[in-house]
Amino acid sequence: MKKSLIALAVMAAAGAASAQSSVTLFGIVDATLQFGRGNVSDRNQLGNSGYNSSRLGFRGTEDLGGGMSASFWLEAGVNNDNGSGQATNTNNQASGNPIAGIAGGQGLTFNRRSTVSLAGNWGELRLGRDYTPHFWNLTVFDPFGTNGVGTTATLNTGFTGVTTVRASNSIGYFLPRNLGGFYGQVQYYMGENADPSAGGVEDDGSGLSLRVGFATGPFNVAFAYGKTEFAAGDIKQMNLAGQWDFGMAKLMGQIVRDENGATDADGWLIGALVPVGAGEIRLAYSTYKVDTAAADPKQRKIALGYVHNLSKRTAVYATYAQVKNSGGSAVGLNGAVTAANSSSRGLDIGIRHSF
């Protein structure tokens, strides 16, 4: 009898402990037929992430009591068209790119997010590789969620560098959620270089980013700023974006100002999401222009898409986009190559399943 009571007590304690913590396996598999057309060369291929980024992840939370919790998040990008994992960047610099100069695919890495957090009524402290605050406005207020051929032209990683979307070695803080609609975060990230006495460029790849916003009812607006330091010239990103939900449609907009050393760039987007039965129409028009001494390369992009939800986890979709180049710009869509000042067209047809 005594042994039975002890066993029951152990089982009860184990049950209480498990009720206070959880671990979840999650992911998205998104396959896309991609068609690109340009006046130099065309390209057709099976790709991925035309609607949502393909991924595999693990996340968990432990209730520490008193309103405190600890959590982890490990999320890897997956190229489901060929089975490889996506590359990561270890130090926010070109030297931290593991596939630079290396042919073939990259092994599975938790490149999308790799963090551990401590949260409470005071907010959340988050450490590791994560989205940069200045990226959030570009993806949240883009009708295409910065995925696929319809991705906004204001997301220009070629001009704004490796910390446009994510940063490694970051320390972030998020405001608590009970601030009457106000929200925000600040993030500091490190390039982790040797100091100058050892022949290094100490601050390369280090930076600071912040985002503040206000959301109430159908209205949501946010401002973000980021600066990454490099010896060749700092990269600065500023954007203001928002949306208004009219019920019959969500109207979205962005204004972007970027600086790379002494060169500036500007862009903007206007777009909408229109629910139609079990589906949704997506449309956007965006521009991005780089101001240089010789010319002003500019791209104008229009995108139209439709998503049909077969269930809560499965959807089929199609997106068409066209970009017009001027000022020496030569942007091609879906791998197509087009001459400077010419147009390019792209089409995505795909299926997305989440779990």
Residue 17: its pLDDT value, please? 44
pTM reported for the whole predicted model? 0.89
Mean pLDDT value across residues 321-342: 97
> For position 102, what pLDDT does the model report?
54
Helices (H), 144-196: 157-160
Return the closest-CA partner of residue 89 out of 186, 173, 184, 157.
157
Most confident of 10-14, 91-95, 225-229: 225-229
User: Across residues 105-124, what is the average pLDDT?
Assistant: 92
pLDDT at 281: 98
Percent of residues, the chain, with pLDDT higher than 70: 90
* 72-82 average pLDDT score: 96
Lowest mean per-residue pLDDT among 31-40, 61-70, 80-89, 198-207: 198-207
Q: Dump pLDDT digits (tens) for 189-210.
A: 999 988 775 555 778 999 999 9
C-alpha distances (whole Å) from 176 to each of 113, 240, 342 are 21, 22, 48
Q: Within 13 A of 324's CA, how many CA atoms are on the CB side?
A: 5
Please check the confidence at residue 320 and state whether its pLDDT lies above 50. yes
Region 91-104: mean pLDDT is 70
Per-residue pLDDT tens over the stretch 121-177? 999 999 999 999 999 999 999 999 999 999 999 999 889 999 999 999 999 999 999
Burial code (b: 16+ CB inside 10 Å, e: under 16) for 16-35 equals eeeeeeeeeeebbbbbbbbb
| Bridge partner list, 209 | 187, 226
pLDDT cut 90: percent of the chain above it: 82
Query: 30-354 is classed in which CATH architecture?
Result: Beta Barrel (2.40)
Give the per-residue pLDDT at 8. Answer: 40
Mean pLDDT score, 282-303: 95
pLDDT at 195 (0 to 100): 73
Pairing of strands 55-65, 68-79: antiparallel
pLDDT at 104 over 70: no
- How, if at all, do strands 21-38 and 113-120 pair? unpaired
Residue 201: predicted pLDDT: 73
pLDDT of 2 > 60? The answer is: no
What is the average pLDDT score of the chain? 91
